[in-house]
Structure 1
């Protein structure tokens, strides 16, 4: 089963956050600019395609899955910790995508995953990968059918989410705030999901990447700032 699908199944039981649980005010302010990319060119620039296909087309970054066992991965390398990330996206036949923070030097989780926001047409999920389902302990537990339910229960406190309704071929605006052990996501200017979990506060996220499932997702106006209180 693809990693993206595994995450959807694990996080589904703890999906919905009541609106009152999502902070109405930002977790942080925008500081120094780390990245500002409008893709008004033909090359990938600082984006590195690792799996599948990523290309710049018509002023946007497009990811397309070409491997059955894993979504397309396009990564931006830069050390960061507390950040505000904003971007536009359009589903172009895709069943969903992840926006992921990793630390390639961290060996305590699968592939160094730290935290993520996962988007499908009907659901948005936030996950602390370091302490949740991608931690080495729980990742290995889930390989044993007799311990899978136990692993899922242990992972549940490290994820949250909300119901959404995304349309194909329509642009949406996303803001992801990572500050200390907190994450907050806004969609088209409305805060809709929040997670507080210790792994989110991992000292160094060495990269940010998109993982695309299916025929394609377009990304544009990707900006990353240092987050400051």
Structure 2
């Protein structure tokens, strides 16, 4: 092979290889497409505004929402009431010393699960978990079974397929951007544009997520730039 042909072959191979190495794998696997913006908050104020503190405590400080656990028996809960079904939620967060926080979708009118919990994403320094609460750990019968040592193993069998978890390595002093997509019976999470996990489970398809809230455990979690869109199927 003459030098020119060798150069052209090398150039072709590099051209084919580079997109796979550097492409962002997030948007290519998106569940749907953004429709209208339903809610946004950059916390550039001092009052909590639409955020309702169900369990203390939450405050706005230096342009971010700060959640701290003020009660020993439960993490703090800060909620926005916003009826939605298929949606995309994006926000930035910093653990800032917190051992974990959850973002939870609820329907208080649904009586089949504890506190009307529908689905959630649980964030900890070493793991991010996607969970179907409605048909999983918060379903009334399973919730009761898991509190009974004699029935816990049977309850665990009922939880197969109701959650997925991914290993991560989150730094307490670093900001991250998370997106949560919900479309039908699927929920997908990305972190800084990279897919973390996808869960397909029937409870996620609950037709009304009446509210969304953050539950924070420990010292503090910082939240900023919350946005919520209605999500449409790509087929539309």
Q: TM-score, normalised by structure 2?
A: 0.86
- Higher Rg: 2
Query: 5+ unaligned residues in a row in structure 1: which ranges?
Result: 1-21
Query: 5+ unaligned residues in a row in structure 2: which ranges?
Result: 1-25
Sort the Cα spacing of 1:181 and 1:23 in 2 relative to 1 into closer, same or farther, 3 A: farther
Aligned equivalent of 2:120: 116
Count of aligned residue pairs for this structure pair: 208
Matches of 1:120 and 1:95, distance apart in 2: 6
2:40 is matched with which residue: 33, 36, 39?
36
Aligned equivalent of 1:3: none
Matches of 1:65 and 1:58, distance apart in 2: 19
Aligned equivalent of 1:10: none
**2:163 maps to 1:155:** no
**2:73 maps to 1:69:** yes
1:131 is matched with which residue: 123, 128, 135?
135
How far has the Cα of 1:23 moved from its partner? Answer: 9.2
How far has the Cα of 1:156 moved from its partner? Answer: 2.5
Where in structure 1 do 4 or more consecutive aligned residues deviate above 2 Å?
A: none
Q: Which whole-Å deviations, capped at 9, do the CAs of 1:122-145 have from their partners, x for residues lacking one?
A: 000000000001000100111211
Q: TM-score, normalised by structure 1?
A: 0.89
Matches of 1:164 and 1:154, distance apart in 2: 26
Matches of 1:164 and 1:212, distance apart in 2: 18
Matches of 1:157 and 1:133, distance apart in 2: 11
Aligned equivalent of 1:194: 198
Q: Which whole-Å deviations, capped at 9, do the CAs of 1:26-45 have from their partners, x for residues lacking one?
A: 00111111111000000111
Aligned equivalent of 2:50: 46
